[in-house]
Structure 1
Amino acid sequence: MSEFALKLVWNQEKIPVVLRRTGKGQRLRVRVPYSETNCKWLQNGRRTSPFWFASKKYWELPKAWFNDFVERCLAEYGKVYIIQPYREQEKCAPACQNAAGHECECSCMGVHHGAGNDGSWFEVSDAFSTRWGDQELACRLLTARPGSQLQPARGTP
């Protein structure tokens, strides 16, 4: 997803959005539609309080709250955007990379056919090698299933 599209998702105000970051000490950054009870709703009876960054207009929550936050957003709003890091995995085979002809039946669809291993591939066996791309951000929209057992948290019917 482009940086522009990610900013559009992050800055919209109708659907909750969570940015899940990797690394030690990283906290969740979340935005939820405005309500005077957002702090209490996010805290959900826990001892730790969420922290509001007024200048950036988002909340920070402990990483351990991720699954609960997503479930509660689905129950309350029916949808939630999740922005998170990902790395694309490429799959190929040494037999393909070292091939001399043009015939390729590998999952790379011939992209790496005959190109050899430049050292970035991890060769698992004669039939399989893999490598990971650079870390990027991905965004997905989760929607509550119709008829799910999720219960609204703020007393909505």
Structure 2
Amino acid sequence: MRRPIDEVRLHAWMPYAGGSNRRWIHEELGERMHPTWNPDADPKRWEIARTHLRTLIEAMAVRFGEIDVYLQFSTRQRCDTRCQTAEGDDCICRCMGENHGGAAYWREWIQVGDTTLVSSPEVRERHYVVRRADVI
């Protein structure tokens, strides 16, 4: 399962079950929700409203034993103009030296205070394996 940052629906993959996956989704999430099968996506997938994330993760873990979950997050780096223009190795900025002396020259920085900089957002993805309680 994947929660993409730039889309309003979750992406869920399940083994083919002879047409019973839609019925199972409705049993777990309710008859009023509208899962969409997207056969044009690569790979083909179910698309489900983001509000069902936790319930769907738990239900899929029970059904399949374990599932891979990928959650995307948007992050901004923070730094300081004094850090980026610094010389030498001493850095006490919140970037912990990552941008010291202009090291992260490829980022687009926006100055939001006298010396405070923030970068344009980056998308990062975390991978979790969620297992059913009785699976070791």
> What TM-score do you get using the length of structure 1 for normalisation?
0.57
Q: Percent identity?
A: 19
Shift of 1:110: 5.8
Structure 1 spans left out of the alignment, 5+ residues: 1-17, 149-157
Shift of 1:32: 0.8
Shift of 1:140: 0.9
Q: 1:90-116: CA deviations, max 9, x gaps?
A: 3433332233x313224442643268x
Q: Distance in 2 between matches of 1:110 and 1:21?
A: 26
Question: What is the alpha-carbon root mean square deviation over aligned residues?
Answer: 3.5
Paired amino acid for 1:43: H
Q: Distance in 2 between matches of 1:65 and 1:110?
A: 37
Contact kept in structure 1, 2:78 and 2:118, CA below 8 Å = yes
Q: 1:18-76: CA deviations, max 9, x gaps?
A: 2323457x222211122232111111242234222345432222222111111111222
Q: Distance in 2 between matches of 1:51 and 1:133?
A: 29
Shift of 1:124: 6.1
Contact kept in structure 1, 2:13 and 2:46, CA below 8 Å = yes
Aligned length: 126
1:66 aligns with 2:53: yes
Q: Distance in 2 between matches of 1:79 and 1:27?
A: 21
What residue number does 1:80 align with?
67
What residue number does 1:103 align with?
89
What residue number does 2:32 align with?
47
What residue number does 2:3 align with?
20
Distance change (3 Å), C-alpha of 1:27 and 1:119:
closer
Q: Distance in 2 between matches of 1:104 and 1:110?
A: 12
In structure 2, the residue corresponding to 1:81 is in which secondary structure? strand
Alignment of 1:121-140 (within 5 A): 121-123=110-112, 129-135=117-123, 138-140=125-127
